[in-house]
Chain A
Amino acid sequence: MGKIIGIDLGTTNSAVAVMEGGNPKVIHSAEGRNVIPSVVDPISHIVGDVAKHQLVLKPKTTIFSIKRLMGRKYTDESVQFDSKWLPYTIKSGRDGMADVEVGGRTLTPQEISAMILQKIKADAEAYLGSKVTQAVITVPAYFDDSQRQATKQAGEIAGLEVLRIINEPTAAALAYGLDKKNAHTIAVYDLGGGTFDISTLELGEGVYEVKSTNGDTHLGGDDFDKAIIDYIAEEFKKENGVDLSKDPQALQRLRESAEKAKIELSSATEAQINQPFITQGSSGPLHLTMSLSRSKLEQIVDELIQKTLKPVEIALKDAGIKVSDINEIVMVGGMTRMPKIVETVTKFFGKEPNKSVNPDEVVAVGAAIQGGVLGGEVKDVLLLDVTPLTLGIETLGGVSTPLIDKNTTIPTSKSQVFSTAADNQTQVEINVLQGERPMAADNKSLGRFILDGIPPAPRGVPQVEVAFDIDANGILNVKASDKATGKEQSIKITGSTGLSKEEVEKMTKEAEVHAEEDKAKKESVEVRNQADAMIFTAEKTLKDNEGKIEEGLKKEIEEKTKALKDILSTGSKEDLEVKTKDRAS
């Protein structure tokens, strides 16, 4: 059986993902991008970026925003509105449905969408190296039965068996695994290239129910770009008296600059706009050079951002829920990367939204997960566990030395070679620790054992290998062996991952809270260990070279060593650092 792909068939862009090894993976297009522009030239069968390149040249035969017509009657208010601004011809077809006329041919929106899906299918097959015949496709929550049917038909025309049509907000929630959390009421804020959707979902028994949906079908990233372009053009006009928006070539460069600045300002606080020779003035060429600050950008687009809040309020009211009832908020669409939008949403809901999954991909990812569930992959896949906390052993000075870091996928094994801390030490105690704190005493001791029979030798010489091995059931085996004699000792710990969720959370939180003081404590021990090693080497050197060292120097070294020794157990970290340095000179 082939893989089931998850498709986000969008108004402006589409995306596709698939489950691999139990994890969703976004498939890049043949052009190497994670999204495909939903643009089609049905005459020459060109889809995506390439079709977009000729939009200006063939406005009547290059179809975009076809999703706006899917499953709608020609007489629909929205179709009538869209037909005024869409450059291609829309007409009434069979049963009064909206069709498009391209180069003398009448095509249904299903057929146009099918071409996008065909390209997606081909890209997915190229990526997977095998045939793809089944898919899950997402639609807006407000799509009615006719629109859903049309979407399903588009899939069938493209040669895909559509196993399920799911709602975009549901897919987004799935991508965050919200069905497994105790989130009951979810809001999905989706600001795409050309549309804004807000949905509230109620989760019960693993089923998402869309409680309400609202939005603005003509508000999106494109409007933000336009606002920025207008601002730059206006500023340029003020300064140079030339209107760039009248010059298509200058406008194109302006558009690129505006988009680049918008993206840059999501991470930087200032963006440079540099377009030399943008146009010809009365006294020679003119250059567009200006800097745009994030706060200025936020001012420019503030009205647009505020415009999204009204639909949010209505959606909540329609669902009969209060802002405080929302357990989780999910962000969808590239525009939600804008810090101001995150801030506005956070302020409105009084809590931070989920935004860790790429907002351009989150819907496709959710669709792929749904596909995985339907294909039995998500359930069947051996869920590999991870170690919830770091595992290690106690070393000199009560320091916790990690061997297996937290969140390591198990089964796994790891080993490290240690040595003795004192001369002629014949045994070492292995104290197995679990936790994130740097000091052994603050972590949980899972068990301890002694490896003895180490042949007497100066400290640092014996080699003791400590090996940790966790099997698939979370059982930890710790083995210590002396490399010289081959003598070994081990312990089996069954409770290494058997902590309750609360315990893990508590320990992780504690580690965060104490991070600073722990660091200081550990550093102090390290400095002490360093001082100790220094004293040891100094004394050893003096002893080994007895009689060969000049008396004055010997005395000086002895004094400094003594001074360091005196404060070794009592001195502060700073004192020790000073004395150690002094001793070293």
Chain B
Amino acid sequence: MKKHDEKFDKKEKDLENALRRALADYQNLEKRIAEEKSSWVRSANKDLILRLLPGLDSLLLAEKHTDDEGVKVSIDHFLDIFRKEGVEKIETIGREFNPNLMEAISTREGEEGIVLEEIKVGYMLKGEVIRPAQVVVGKETN
């Protein structure tokens, strides 16, 4: 009889644990879904913006090769729209290289660790890096 009870006790305990675990998983899931929902809205924008950026990159490159006022106006227009969506350009040139915001593509003789040139503009969306800037960083040669 005693043995029987022990068996049931153990079974009950196991089941209770399993239930607790399932409930905990469920509650955590609910919390996470709430979080994910809000981040979804953000990331949906992020994906679209990331896909639009190469077009802007081309315009920025074109600007370097032309004096056409129209291109400049178009770029400003583009950037203005982005700004309103919370997209900010990452400032790089003359600043210290920061791997959180930038990706070093190559190095050149110059002040150690300072960004000399920006190859591709980087952007933040509401304070989060969505694309790091690609830069050339200075290196002192001895």
Residues 18-62 of chain A: 1 if any B CB is under 8 Å from the residue's CB, otherwise 0? Answer: 001100000000001000000001000010001111111100000
The 8 Å CB contact of A249, one of B21, B106, B113, B139, is B106
Q: A248 interface residue, CB < 8 Å from B? A: yes
The 8 Å CB contact of A53, one of B14, B65, B99, B119, is B99
CB distance A252 to B134 under 8 Å?
Answer: yes
CB distance B22 to A382 under 8 Å?
Answer: yes
CB distance B18 to A380 under 8 Å?
Answer: yes
CB distance A381 to B22 under 8 Å?
Answer: yes
Alpha-carbon distance A381/B14, docked complex (angstroms)? 10
Q: B142 interface residue, CB < 8 Å from A? A: no
Chain A residues numbered 526-559 whose CB sits less than 8 Å from any CB in chain B: none
CB distance B107 to A56 under 8 Å?
Answer: yes
CB-CB under 8 A for A53 and B137, given A249-B105, A249-B119? no
Q: How many A residues face the partner with a CB closer than 8 A?
A: 27
CB-CB under 8 A for A276 and B61, given A20-B29, A54-B97, A249-B119? yes
Contacts of A54 in B (CB 8 A): 97, 99, 103-104
Contacts of A277 in B (CB 8 A): 58, 61-62, 64-65
Secondary structure dominating the interface of A: mixed
Q: A206 interface residue, CB < 8 Å from B? A: no
Q: B12 interface residue, CB < 8 Å from A? A: no
| B54 CB → nearest A CB, Å | 8
Q: B102 interface residue, CB < 8 Å from A? A: yes
Which residue of chain B has the shortest Cβ distance to A59 in the bound complex? Answer: B107
Which residue of chain A has the shortest Cβ distance to B128 in the bound complex? Answer: A32
Q: A482 interface residue, CB < 8 Å from B? A: no
Q: B78 interface residue, CB < 8 Å from A? A: no
| A249 CB → nearest B CB, Å | 5
| B23 CB → nearest A CB, Å | 10
Contact-residue size bin, chain B (C-beta under 8 Å from the other chain): 20 to 34
CB-CB under 8 A for A252 and B18, given A276-B61, A277-B64? no
Contacts of B139 in A (CB 8 A): 57
Alpha-carbon distance A47/B99, docked complex (angstroms)? 11
Alpha-carbon distance A20/B62, docked complex (angstroms)? 50
| A405 CB → nearest B CB, Å | 23
CB distance B25 to A21 under 8 Å?
Answer: yes
Contacts of A486 in B (CB 8 A): none
| A134 CB → nearest B CB, Å | 15
Q: B136 interface residue, CB < 8 Å from A? A: yes
CB distance A248 to B105 under 8 Å?
Answer: yes
Chain B residues numbered 89-109 whose CB sits less than 8 Å from any CB in chain A: 97, 99-100, 102-107
Alpha-carbon distance A266/B5, docked complex (angstroms)? 60
CB-CB under 8 A for A285 and B65, given A128-B28, A249-B119, A382-B18? yes
| B110 CB → nearest A CB, Å | 12
Residues 55-94 of chain B: 1 if any A CB is under 8 Å from the residue's CB, otherwise 0? Answer: 0001001101100000000000000000000000000000
Q: A129 interface residue, CB < 8 Å from B? A: yes
Q: A377 interface residue, CB < 8 Å from B? A: yes
The 8 Å CB contact of A57, one of B21, B104, B119, is B104
CB distance B64 to A56 under 8 Å?
Answer: no
Alpha-carbon distance A51/B21, docked complex (angstroms)? 37
Contacts of A381 in B (CB 8 A): 18, 21-22
Alpha-carbon distance A249/B105, docked complex (angstroms)? 7
Chain B residues numbered 107-127 whose CB sits less than 8 Å from any CB in chain A: 107, 113, 119
CB distance B22 to A21 under 8 Å?
Answer: yes
Which residue of chain A has the shortest Cβ distance to B134 in the bound complex? Answer: A252
The 8 Å CB contact of B21, one of A46, A55, A377, is A377
Which residue of chain A has the shortest Cβ distance to B139 in the bound complex? Answer: A57
Contacts of A32 in B (CB 8 A): 43
Contacts of A53 in B (CB 8 A): 99-100, 102-104, 132
CB-CB under 8 A for A50 and B25, given A248-B106, A382-B18? no
Chain A residues numbered 369-416 whose CB sits less than 8 Å from any CB in chain B: 377, 380-382
Alpha-carbon distance A287/B95, docked complex (angstroms)? 30
Contacts of B99 in A (CB 8 A): 41, 46, 50-51, 53-54
The 8 Å CB contact of A56, one of B18, B104, B113, is B104
Alpha-carbon distance A94/B132, docked complex (angstroms)? 40
Alpha-carbon distance A377/B21, docked complex (angstroms)? 9
Alpha-carbon distance A52/B104, docked complex (angstroms)? 9
Contacts of A50 in B (CB 8 A): 99-100
27 contacts between A and B (CB under 8 A): A20-B25, A20-B28, A20-B29, A32-B43, A46-B99, A52-B103, A53-B99, A53-B100, A53-B104, A53-B132, A57-B97, A57-B104, A248-B105, A248-B106, A249-B105, A252-B119, A274-B54, A276-B58, A276-B62, A277-B58, A277-B61, A277-B64, A285-B65, A381-B18, A381-B21, A381-B22, A382-B22
Q: Interface residues, chain A, CB within 8 Å of chain B?
A: 20-21, 32, 41, 46, 50-57, 128-129, 248-249, 252, 274, 276-277, 284-285, 377, 380-382
Q: Interface residues, chain B, CB within 8 Å of chain A?
A: 14, 17-18, 21-22, 25-26, 28-29, 31, 43, 54, 58, 61-62, 64-65, 97, 99-100, 102-107, 113, 119, 132, 134, 136-137, 139
- Give the 9 A-B CB pairs with smallest separation, nearest first: A57-B104, A277-B61, A248-B106, A53-B103, A53-B99, A54-B99, A21-B25, A56-B104, A252-B105
